[in-house]
Amino acid sequence: MKKLLSLMAVLALFITTALAQDRTITGQIVDEKGNPVPYATIKIKGSSIGAAADQNGNFSIQAKTGDILQVSAAGLEMLEIAVPAQGAVNVTLKSGDVMREVVVTALGIRRTRNQLPYSAQQVAGDEVSKTRTSNFVNNLSGKVSGLELRQTNTLGGSTNILVRGVKSITGSNQPLFVIDGVPFDNSTTNTTDQRTGRGGYDYGNAAADINPDDIQSVTVLKGAAASALYGSRGNNGVILITTKKGRSGLGITVNSGFSWGQIDKETFATYQHAYGGGYGQYYEDPSGFFLYRDIDGDGVKDLVVPTSEDASYGGKFDPSKMVYQWDAFDPNSPNFNKARPWVAAANDPTAFFENSLSSNQSVYLDGASEKGTFKLGYTRTDDKGILPNSKISKNLVNFGATYNVTPDFTVGGSINYSGITGKGRYGTGYDDKNVATNFRQWWQTNVDIKEQKEAYMRFKQNVTWNWADPSDLTPIYWDNVYFARYENFENDSRNRYFGNINANYKIGEHFNILGRVSLDNYDEFQEERQAVGSVTTSAYSRFDRTYSETNYDLLLNYDQDISTDFNLKALLGMNIRKQHITSMSSSTNGGLITEKVYSLSNSANPINAPLESDGRREVDGVFAGGTLSYKDMITLDGTIRRDASSTLPEGNNVYYYPSVSIGFVFSKLLPDLNWLTYGKLRANYAQVGGDAPFYSTLDVYTIVPPFGSQAQSSVSSTRNNPELKPERTKSSEVGLELAFFKNRLGFDVTYYDAKTFDQILPTTVSTATGYSSKFLNAGTIQNKGVELSAFGTPIQSQDFSWTINLNWTRNRNKVVSLFEGSENLLLATFQGGVSINATLGQPYGTIRGSDFVYTNGAKTVRTTGTAAVIGRYMTSTTSNEVIGNPNPDWIGGINNTFKYKNLSLSFLVDVRQGGDVFSLDLYYGLATGLYPETAGNNDLGNPLRNPIAEGGGVILPGVKPDGKPNDIRVEAINYGTFGYRYTPAAGFIYDASFVKLRELVLTYSIPSKTISSWQFVKGIDISLIGRNLWIIHKNLPYADPEENISAGNLQGYQGGAYPTTRTLGFNLRFKF
Amino acid sequence: MKKIIFILLPLLMMVGCKKDLTSLNVDPKNPQVVPSRSLFTNAQHTLANTLASSSVNLNIFRLIVQYWTETTYVDESQFDLNTRQIPRGVWNTLYRDVLKDFEEAKRTIPNDVADAAVQKNQITITDIMEVYTWYYLVTTFGNIPYTDALNIENPFPKYDDQKAIVDDLLKRLDADITALNISAESFGSADIVYEGDVAAWKKFANSLKLKIGMTIADADAAKAKTTVESAVASGVFTSNADNAQFNYLSGPPNTNPIWVDLVQSGRKDFVATNTIVNKMKLLGDPRMPYYFTFDATGSDYSGGVPGASNNYATFSKPAGPLLVPGSAGMITNPDFPHLLLSYDEVEFFLAEAVERGFSVGGTAKEHYDKAITASIRWWGGSAVDAADYLVGPSVNYLTAPGSYKQKIGEQKWIALYNRGWDAWIEWRRLDYPVLQKPTGALTEFPMRFTYNVDEQNLNKKNYDEAAAAIGGDVVTTKLFWDKF
């Protein structure tokens, strides 16, 4: 840190600025027709000092010579003007041809709106840095149409990003991240077990390494035409990030923020308070609910909780009943050898969650002179999660500089470092390290979480409530949750270096040549632990991964006004991309020798050889593009690219793909329509080709750890294919942009249709072939959809304004074809007898499992069969019915911003309508009797858990096979009545719709008058920030419908879901 | 300008150079060639694991035949095959993880085994292991992909008639028995069962032939007779020393999977059923301490009710000092061997063959006594234990109640303890012992497994045909050899 500070000091000296004296500048703002523009905003660039013009366009502001004034007004093009040495500043704003600022498109090419013939939506950097989340991507939610985000509630977990739906059946569907023209890897390295809910940690996605403080703007390129120049990697859309550039003079921005969070109880379990631990009425004591042992040695048998039972289908609470509980067998507990009244715990697992705490501190320096520019940023983030012993820290350093060797020749470079360290990430899935699985599925309501804490804290031992038996004090299914958090923790780190060197040369007036070498390099390290004394075998494992990508780019640009009406831009380029990914994972075998020593050499048995992978890829691309525009009204754009990829077999490894686009600004022909400010039609068509995953052409064997000294090996379960050819996407898009009333109102609507076919995928085949899958070119997915972005300024006056931004997306996805006669491609199986699939003729990602049998649309109960099943639901004969579709009907976001003088309030409401989620938490948790639905009274007003003979039991809603209403009462005395045992998987499919108040930001900029006397400060912003404050509407009980296990193609499944964290924080920003 | 060209030169060079991109696409970490015997060892190991496992995701046969039942999570004891997709587990493992590797071993043995006689022995032994594996598939599902199977060029394999498959398996065994050359070596220590002893494999092949022959005895008595007689004439197992057992190691991951499930996991999922405990108590069976531990009383044995929720502490558990200190059995030892085919099993078949009038020598009682004695000895009991047991009026073949099917069926069921899969086949065939319907049973007793659910999506036409041909893809459809 010291070094960094001295470095910054040197740089600050490097570019010195003369501090000129501020003076009052006055002026008037008019439009092209000479009419005054009322209430325009005047801002000094790079500071928060601003002023507003009056009704007649007159303004005054404190500024000094050379300052850049940014003048903007609704409906008019923003203008920058330097403060002259003397005199007034009179400004003429052009009427709004351009709805918003210049848009950065593929390869960093800047386009005005008029010349943009495809859909690209831009979000200002402020929008992603203002309200802090551990991953800036989350801040895009609801702000871009066509972009669907799914966030997890784990600390530092991965965010699933989809642009215009799933296109690839088995490949990645995550968009490409590009920073200043250079691809930035966004891998998620979560294991298959993690992604399929079988345990493990969500290590997040690598885009979280990006420093939000360094982002100038984010552009989302949605369709293939926009991203065609990026080749197959652009197939899933592109998130283009433009970083900040040095500005003239020396600027220093200091940002300091803190936030606190608490769980949203609506997204966590609510427990019934009537019955305690047990599975039913079959234990030792006469009542059948308790063990019956003589604990105190008085010769009389005592009641004991069946500690091994991780359910709450036990004895009815009764304070007069004295029962020995888990702590009676802990010699260090004050309750040792004592029976306690049989009552519900005072502190249920809700009390386990701590307050989250985040700190975000950053310093950003930048400057520019005629010789060049520089910037240096440092951001430090610390996030402590809602679970004990969880923390993620980030150090992000950005440095970039350009140097003008001659006026025509510029060299530049940038280097960015990000270091992320995590400790105690949340366990996920169906695993003993996931405390949420424990709390939501397998818990005893008589266990007090605070007492569990005390029990662990006393001697840091695994004093669990879940003893195998009072006579066998080992944990059977669940550790003490505090032991699980403090002893069985993981830690991880990722160190990343990302940067480039480039040279740019202007050849004459029209040509420009850019050469660039860029590098994206990181290493990841993950260590996982299972302490001696845990439920599962003690273990230590480590995972090391390196990622390296080098890009060599050469770009020749040409730009010339051919005549007064025609402009031609052309581009010729080449790109060589080399990717190299290695990994190694290793773990102890059969336990640890010495406790608390986490090393491979501490393995109880000789370790099996580490699993290694080593993937290399090279793609050589050549591309060309041309844009012809006529009178800034009609734009014709075309590109073509040729790629040669190393992952495809020789002879099939070269592929070409074109794009054509047209844009027509028809409002130019309608100058008389005063209400119409802007109107544009655009249409495009593009193809994109794609290569194969590593090593999918040649067959290899899998080496299995030897049996003693005997080597073992196996045929790989996936058959490779030496005849693969490139996969293809064809997409077309039409769009309409309209703005009215001097840009007070406008929208951008797009319809698209994209088909990805000849997909390279490991097609699942009957395992009777000896394989699970075979690489083939097969399968087509179609995405059709409508995107709408709209904006409006209902109120605009000198002191007050109200603006609305709306984004709405409706995507329809369909699996159009699969390999020959197969009707389904199994993507993964999950706990709970469900699977996620690509099913022919259905949207991608169908959830399959057993279904109800319906009679006239009503769930049918059995009237025949074994006694156990009569009166319970009938289940479909196969467990392979399509029971859910995780894709939403539509998604949308509305952002409202109110500004009053220096105060601004904005809030974002994020909506997802439709889409299904399977809840393993309710599948098990309803069976084990945790939730209020499983207790209480039945239709007769009696406790439903009473035997039918005593007026208990329930009549399940539904009909009998003859269609008559069900009137068969079934016992609800033992576990399972409401959960999975007698209910098909379809009974646990829920609608995942939600309406969330996602963001709320209140910002106060200290008036320039106040701070103008403090010479060194240019601006101070104070913000109060709330995130995920309120789920306004949802249909999934006890959980956040957005919560998922990991980013990736497997969505629509929850198991061991974490609650949402509501955060509230403040942020201070100083500009010097 | 010149300078710039120099700067850009490296880039231009890279475009100019012609490269062999495809060579980058060779996986440097995984081999394209492996020793053929490593495939054989792996397949044999995976096969043994599948048969030995007590995972509720794969092998629930101990529950079906009521050796064990579950304590709290009783779904599988109640015949819930769907929640955990158990048929998928069995199907995938045997086809993809066992048969495919055996098949690949057969294909590649000629590449790395020079000696022609050894080569032939290896291929033959691998084929015997394949026949053995097919036996479990065909007796579990009925019609299955067979002639079209294990060929990725045909992703939609048709299902063969189950009887035709069994006939072909017998044909293959005949050819294998002829092909084995006792005077030559085979796999050596890569063969975990017999360490490459070709003579032992010959006895194994004959004993397996005997077993398959007896399996079809009710369906095709004539073919059963000739098959059994020729197998016995050629030489079947004659003592426990001939037993085919997979000898596990004591260190993970090469332990007996039961150790993983019962001991390493720390779970307490299984207890004995009252079905077997009561029966063995009634008979005074000396194998009791080797099979089960004492119950909560510390001096007696009791079993839980199949399918009901059972308190773990109350009942007897699978015996082994690793699970319950002081108990006598070995099931929970990590290196407890798993029997693939045993001498006692052979003697039970011979007893039955005598009853069916096949010429196999000896009397039914002699074979029955030998079978029980062999089983008791294998589990750790003494010859005296066995002799005492055999005189019990309910054990004595001459005085025990019921038909030969009942006498043999009940004793074989006891002897096949820990080999639930075989016990399930024999129980369906002999219809004894009489099992109790589990509490909360979701279906009738399974007479077969339903097909792997994936077949409905991936191989639908053939699946539909097969389901129709066997009389419906449900667990209650009886297979062709299960006449009664």
The domain that contains B351 carries what CATH number?
Answer: 1.25.40.390
Q: Does pLDDT of A879 surpass 90? A: no
**Spatial CA neighbour of B369 closest among B349, B384, B351:** B351
Q: Chain A partners of B308 at a C-beta cutoff of 8 Å?
A: 282
B150 part of a folded domain:
yes
CA distance A1025 to A1068: 11
Is residue A231 within 8 Å of A1029, Cβ to Cβ?
Answer: no
Q: What is the DSSP string of A765-820?
A: --GGGS-SEEEEE--EEEEEEEEEEEEEEEEE-SSEEEEEEEEEEEEEEEEEE-ST
Strands A89-93 and A23-31: parallel
Query: Could you read off the pLDDT of B375-423 as tens digits, one per residue?
Result: 999 999 999 999 999 999 999 999 999 999 999 999 999 999 999 999 9
Q: Look at residue A932 and give its three-state secondary structure.
A: helix
Strands A1053-1054 and A916-919: parallel
When pLDDT is cut at 50, 70 and 90, the band that residue A229 belongs to is confident
Q: What is the mean pLDDT of residues A837-864?
A: 95
A694, closest residue in chain B (CA to CA): B25
Task: Return the percentage of chain B with pLDDT > 90, whole number.
Answer: 90
CA distance B484 to B480: 10
Q: Does pLDDT of A167 surpass 80? A: yes
> What is the predicted pLDDT for the residue at B368?
98
Main-chain dihedrals φ then ψ at residue B248, nearest 5 degrees: -70, 160
Is residue B44 within 8 Å of B191, Cβ to Cβ?
Answer: yes
Question: Whole-model pTM?
Answer: 0.90
**Spatial CA neighbour of B118 closest among B207, B198, B31:** B198
When pLDDT is cut at 50, 70 and 90, the band that residue B14 belongs to is low
- Best residue of B458, B465, B474 to probe chain A, by most A CBs closer than 10 Å: B458
Nearest to A282 among B7, B251, B309 (CB): B309
**Spatial CA neighbour of A518 closest among A206, A185, A235, A207:** A185
B148 contacts A768? CB cut-off 8 A: yes
Place of tokens 């197939």: A235
> What is the predicted pLDDT for the residue at A162?
93
**Spatial CA neighbour of B292 closest among B274, B266, B311:** B274
> What is the predicted pLDDT for the residue at A17?
37
B268 part of a folded domain:
no
- The H or E element containing residue A100 is none
Q: Output the CA–CA distances (angstroms, integers) from residue B404 to A82, A518, A586, B369, in the order listed.
A: 109, 82, 56, 13
Q: How far is A477 from chain B (nearest CA, A)?
A: 7
CA distance A838 to A1010: 62
- The H or E element containing residue B278 is helix B274-283
What Rg, from alpha-carbon coordinates, does chain B have? 25
**Spatial CA neighbour of B348 closest among B464, B246, B228, B255:** B228
B305 part of a folded domain:
no
A621, closest residue in chain B (CA to CA): B15
Nearest to A713 among B14, B22, B42 (CB): B42
CA distance B111 to B116: 11
Q: Does pLDDT of A109 surpass 90? A: no
Place of tokens 């069962």: B193
What Rg, from alpha-carbon coordinates, does chain A have? 32
Q: How far is B381 from chain A (nearest CA, A)?
A: 30
CA distance A887 to A151: 15
* Single-letter amino acid code for the residue at A189: T
When pLDDT is cut at 50, 70 and 90, the band that residue A75 belongs to is low
User: How many of the other CB atoms lie within 10 Å of CB of B278?
Assistant: 14
What's the burial of A675, exposed, middle or buried (CB within 10 Å: 0-12/13-18/19+)?
A: exposed
Q: What does DSSP assign to residue A194? A: H
B17 touches A at CB < 8 Å: no
CA distance A649 to A652: 6
Q: Output the CA–CA distances (angstroms, integers) from residue A817 to A756, A859, B463, in the order listed.
A: 10, 32, 20
> What is the predicted pLDDT for the residue at A821?
75
B348 part of a folded domain:
yes
B474 contacts A774? CB cut-off 8 A: no
Tell me which of A113 and A733 has the higher pLDDT.
A733
CA distance A572 to A513: 10
Task: Return the percentage of chain A with pLDDT > 90, whole number.
Answer: 73
What's the burial of A341, exposed, middle or buried (CB within 10 Å: 0-12/13-18/19+)?
A: exposed
**Spatial CA neighbour of A511 closest among A409, A411, A637:** A409
CA distance A761 to B473: 31
Q: Does pLDDT of A36 surpass 90? A: no
Range with the lowest mean pLDDT among A85-89, A533-537, A728-732, B442-446? Answer: A85-89
Q: What is the mean pLDDT of residues A847-861?
A: 96
**E strand spans, B382-478:** none
Q: Does pLDDT of A7 surpass 70? A: no
Which residues are CB-neighbours of B10 under 8 A, at least 6 positions away?
Answer: none
| B323 token code pair | 């699970």
- The H or E element containing residue A516 is strand A511-530
**A576-596 in b/e burial notation, b at 16+ Cβ within 10 A?**
bbbbbbbbebbbbbbbbeeee
B297 touches A at CB < 8 Å: no
Q: How far is A706 from chain B (nearest CA, A)?
A: 8
First to last CA, chain B: 95
Q: What is the mean pLDDT of residues A334-341?
A: 96
* ipTM summary value: 0.95
Q: Which of residues 122-181 of B touch A (CB under 8 A)?
A: 144-145, 148-152, 154-157
When pLDDT is cut at 50, 70 and 90, the band that residue B358 belongs to is very high
CA distance B161 to B141: 11
Beta-carbon pairs below 8 A across chains A and B: 280
When pLDDT is cut at 50, 70 and 90, the band that residue A111 belongs to is confident
DSSP 3-state percent helix, strand, coil across chain B (nearest 5): 50, 5, 45
Q: Tell me the pLDDT of chain B averaged across its residues.
A: 94
Query: Could you read off the pLDDT of A819-834 as tens digits, one per residue?
Result: 887 889 999 999 998 9
Range with the lowest mean pLDDT among A187-196, A222-231, A234-243? Answer: A222-231
Is residue A921 within 8 Å of A1056, Cβ to Cβ?
Answer: yes
Q: How far is B66 from chain A (nearest CA, A)?
A: 18
- Best residue of B49, B82, B474 to probe chain A, by most A CBs closer than 10 Å: B82
CA distance A918 to A922: 9
- The H or E element containing residue B11 is helix B2-16
Could you list the residue range(s) of the whole structural domain that residue B42 is in?
Answer: 36-252+336-470
Tell me which of A804 and A974 has the higher pLDDT.
A804
When pLDDT is cut at 50, 70 and 90, the band that residue A632 belongs to is confident
Residue B433, preceding bond cis, omega within 30 degrees? yes
Tell me which of A59 and A1 has the higher pLDDT.
A59
Q: What is the dihedral of CA A111, A112, A115, A121, to 10 degrees?
A: 80
* Overall number of domains in chain B: 1
CA distance B151 to B95: 11
Q: Does pLDDT of A51 surpass 90? A: no
B298 part of a folded domain:
no
B68 part of a folded domain:
yes
B202 part of a folded domain:
yes
When pLDDT is cut at 50, 70 and 90, the band that residue B432 belongs to is very high
B1 part of a folded domain:
no
B41 contacts A711? CB cut-off 8 A: yes
**Spatial CA neighbour of A83 closest among A47, A113, A118, A112:** A47
> What is the predicted pLDDT for the residue at A101?
54
Strands A994-1005 and A1053-1054: unpaired
Is residue B210 within 8 Å of B228, Cβ to Cβ?
Answer: yes
Is residue A603 within 8 Å of A593, Cβ to Cβ?
Answer: yes
Dihedral sign (CA A211, A1042, A430, A582): negative
